[in-house]
Amino acid sequence: MSRRTPGVRRGARTGVLLAFTGPALALLILTRLAPEGYSLVASFEKVDPFGSASWTFAGWDNFRRLFTSAAFWQVLGVTVWFVVLASPVIVVGSLFLAWLYTRTMPMRGFWRTVAFLPSAIPSLGLTVMWGVALKPTGVLNNVLEALGLPAQGFYSSTAQALPTIALITAWGGVGYWMVFLIAGLLDIPREVLEAARMDGASPWREFFSVVVPLLRRPLLFVLVANTVWVFQIYAPIQVLTNGGPSGATSTLMFDTVRTATVYSNQQQAMAQMVVLLVLLGATVAAQFALLGERE
Amino acid sequence: MTALARKRARRYGLTVLGVLSGLVFLVPVWWLVVAAFRDPTEALSSTSVLDTLIPRSFSFAGFRSAIEDGYLRAVGVSLAAAAGTVVGGLAVSSLAAYGFVAVRTRLSRVLFVVVVASFLLPFETLSVPLVPVFSRLGLSDGLPALILPALGNGLAVFNLRQAFLSVPLELAEAQHMDGAGHLRRFWHLYLPLSRPALIGSGMILFVSQWDSYLWPLLIISDNHNVTASVAIASNFGPLSSHTQRAFAEVLVLVVIPAVLLLFTQRRLIASSSTSGIR
């Protein structure tokens, strides 16, 4: 009697599955799929000049307008340059910190915590503290002048603004990514390192020929995850430079928000967002293709 | 140089390197704390660089000015949003995780990948199109608008599923024999045995809400309902002179999660030592 046919059982199981995952799936649709769908549709629409506030199909018009505008090419250039500046600094910096703080030294745990400290500061906090420290009359310029060096413009100079934002981002992020790499370093079997040392490998050789290859997975994770994060940096740009000076820090993320809110051009903003998502996806795919394991 | 001396020299060099690298992170944070408590009049008169790192005066002026400006209300909004995100997010992700563990069909595996992957995808970018979606649903300007997008968290679902997978199947089967349904097994067996994962996922959810800036900025238009980050930004310009207040506000923003972390860490250690399960 208690024997049920597999079909019924499968139906009941699917019911249980859907009942428990239901809230998560509903949220997925509401907060992820709905905006994705909206942006995809809106990017191919325009405001109907004859109807009141209704939209009509515009084909590739929004995208064509983007890619024929010099301003948008500047935004794309700034975005790529920003990722190229910030992402490698973060990966190399966090790898250096992870390596350093897995050596034997006094108070190692304390210094690890210290390096992680900036990760506990919300992005707006980082923006405020570095905004004050790096302003033209700020502490850092005072230090430079005390050392007899010329004061720098930092984020108020066209040439230095983007690198400054990248450095603020890196300072706030390296300690966080370091944690993942420390975990990866501790997973490397001692015997492997001892064998390398027995063979007379120098510390440099040991690091680049043994440690880095064995750290490939966590390194790839840190590279991909922090690239995704860097593409979406918003707070320091909006608060400190507002995209300037003369567009020097206007990244795609920042410009998309500005098009949607300041210029209230939803359709154009959505087209920009689609470009941002495609660029992000392509970058991540390229990272996987170049550095992922080939089996 | 003997091998021993060389080894000692290397260790000495590493320690120096470690301390110097640590100072890169410690000094700015120290400066933030000192500056938040500095007397505003002293800040103007001091000219020496070292003065900026040595606390010579102590004042709550920055904090007082922040409170007078209604900063506590903004902190309250942030705390309420974070609390809602933790409670709601844990409910949603632990239920989903139980579903993925209790039912192991192909559909379940596919749904697991879809849920984790799409909640790991960047949300910041999606916040721009989410504004019209939410306002069409009448969800703008309130706690639900702040909380809902943060509830789905791929890392939390992933963590909790890992924890649930390590719950012995024999225990679940024994409860099943006793006539316990899925909900009772979920509540009385899986949740109590997964406290560390619940606390860890709770912290991830808390931080994701606490750190958010763009979404609250876009969705909240009523000045009384802004979060702490948005409140700080609205009063802060890079050239503004209210440094003390801005720093005091940032310090509050940093200290609250740190205190909660210390508190939950102690609970975490206590819970794993009393349950006997690691």
Size of interface A-B (CB pairs under 8 A): 228
Which one-letter amino acid corresponds to residue B179? Answer: G
Within 8 A by CB and 6+ apart from B34, the residues are B52, B53, B54, B55
* Residue numbers of the domain that contains B11: 3-59
Between residues 8 and 47 of chain A, which touch chain B (CB distance below 8 Å)? 10, 13-14, 16-25, 27-28, 30-36, 38-39, 42
Residues of chain B contacting A279 with CB distance shorter than 8 Å: none
Give residue A11's identity as a one-letter amino acid code.
Answer: G
Asked if the model's pLDDT at residue B1 lies above 70, the reply is no
Q: Is residue A140 exposed (0-12), middle (13-18) or buried (19+ Cβ within 10 Å)?
A: middle
Residues 6+ apart with CB under 8 A from B189: B167, B171, B172, B175, B180
The answer to whether the CB atoms of A17 and B103 lie below 8 A apart is yes
pLDDT of residue B92: 94
Spatial neighbors of B159 by CB under 8 A, at least 6 apart, are B197, B200, B201, B204
pLDDT given for residue B80 in this prediction: 93
- B157 and B25 part of one domain: no
Tell me whether strands A55-57 and A45-47 are parallel, antiparallel or unpaired. antiparallel
- Select the more confidently predicted residue: B224 or A250: A250
Q: Which of residues 96-155 of B touch A (CB under 8 A)?
A: 96, 98-100, 102-103, 105, 107-108, 111, 114-115, 118-119, 121-133, 148-149, 151-152
Mean pLDDT comparison of A189-203, A237-251, B254-268, highest-scoring range: A237-251
Question: B4 CA to chain A: closest CA distance, Å?
Answer: 15
- CB spacing of B18 vs A111 below 8 angstroms: yes
Same domain, B29 and B79: no
Q: Burial code of A233-268, b = ≥16 C-beta within 10 A, e = fewer?
A: bbbbbbbbbebebebbbbbbbbbbbbbbeeeebbbb
Do B158 and B223 sit in the same domain of this protein?
yes
**Which residues of chain A lie closer than 8 angstroms to B187, CB-CB?**
none
The whole-angstrom distance between A212's CA and the closest CA on chain B is: 19
Same domain, B145 and B216: yes
Least confident segment among A62-71, A170-179, B75-84, B265-274 = B265-274
Whether residue B128 is found in the same domain as residue B256: yes
Distance between start and end Cα atoms, chain A: 50
Prior bond of A245 cis (ω within 30°): yes
Q: Which residue has the higher pLDDT, A109 or A1?
A: A109
Q: What is the pLDDT of residue A1?
A: 37
The mean per-residue pLDDT over the stretch A204-210 comes to 82
Rounded mean pLDDT, A123-141: 86
Q: CA of B193 to nearest chain A CA: how many angstroms apart?
A: 19
Q: Check if A239 contacts B (Cβ < 8 Å).
A: yes
What is the C-alpha separation between B194 and B217, in angstroms, rounded? 35
Q: Taking residues B148-153, report their average pLDDT.
A: 89
Chain B residue with the nearest C-alpha to that of A170:
B25
Q: Locate the chain A residue with the closest alpha carbon to B256.
A: A120
- B277 vs chain A: nearest CA distance in angstroms? 22
Mean pLDDT within A27-44? 87
Asked if residue B190 and residue B84 are part of one domain, the reply reads: yes
pLDDT at A275: 92
Q: What is the pLDDT of residue B215?
A: 92
Tell me, yes or no, whether B22 and B126 share the same domain: no
* Angle, alpha carbons B213-B219-B220 (nearest 5°): 85
pLDDT at B266: 62
- Residue B262 is part of a domain; what is its CATH number? 1.10.3720.10
Checking if the pLDDT of A4 tops 90, the result is no
Tokens (6 digits) for B253: 């923003």
Q: Between B278 and A249, whose confidence is greater?
A: A249
B222 and B198 share a domain?
A: yes
What distance in Å separates residue B24's CA from the closest CA in chain A?
8
pLDDT (tens digit per residue) in B9-18: 888 888 888 8
Q: What are the DSSP calls for B131-176, one per residue?
A: HHHHHHTT--SSHHHHHHHHH--HHHHHHHHHHHHTS-HHHHHHHH
Residue A276 has pLDDT above 80, yes or no: yes
Tokens, residue A86:
């910030």
B35 contacts in chain A (CB < 8 Å): 132
User: Tell me, what amino acid is at B265?
Assistant: Q
pLDDT, tens digit (0-9, with 9 covering 90-100), for B46-66: 555 556 777 777 778 778 888
Contacts of B123 in chain A (CB under 8 A): 31-32
pLDDT at B43: 55
Residue A3 pLDDT: 42
- Contact predicate B150/B210, CB 8 Å: no
- Which of A36, A101, A234 has its CB closest to that of B213? A234
The answer for residues whose C-beta is within 8 angstroms of residue A163's C-beta and 6 or more apart is A85
Mean pLDDT across B119-123: 75
Rounded to the nearest integer, the mean pLDDT of chain B is 82
Query: Is the CB of A149 inside 8 Å of chain B's CB atoms?
Result: no
pLDDT band at B105 (very low <50, low <70, confident <90, very high): confident
Residue A130: its chain B contacts at CB < 8 A? Answer: 28
Position with higher pLDDT, A272 vs B239: A272
> Taking residues B5-25, what's their average pLDDT?
86
Candidate from A115, A232, A240 with C-beta closest to B124 = A232
Q: What residues in A contact B213, CB-CB < 8 Å?
A: 122-124, 234-235
| CB neighbour class for B219 (10 Å; exposed up to 12, middle 13-18, buried from 19) | buried
Give the count of domains, chain B. Answer: 2
Domain end position, chosen among B59, B74, B97: B59
Cβ contact (<8 Å) for B152 and A32?
Answer: yes
Q: How far apart are CA A2 and CA A5, in angstroms?
A: 10
What is the per-residue pLDDT across B208-242, written as a single tens digit (0 to 9) for each?
A: 899 899 999 998 888 888 898 998 888 887 676 67
Check: CB of residue A117 under 8 Å from CB of residue A101. no
Does residue B228 sit in the same domain as residue B181? yes
Residues of B in contact with A17 (CB under 8 A): 99-100, 102-103, 105, 107-108, 111
A31 and B229: CB-CB below 8 Å?
A: no
Select the residue from A10, A111, A128 to test the B interface by mutation, using most B Cβ atoms within 10 A: A128
Helices A6-28 and B106-120 sit at what angle, rounded to 10 degrees?
A: 10
Residue-range domain boundaries for chain A = 6-57, 63-291
pLDDT of residue A247: 86
CATH topology of domain A63-291: MetI-like fold (1.10.3720)
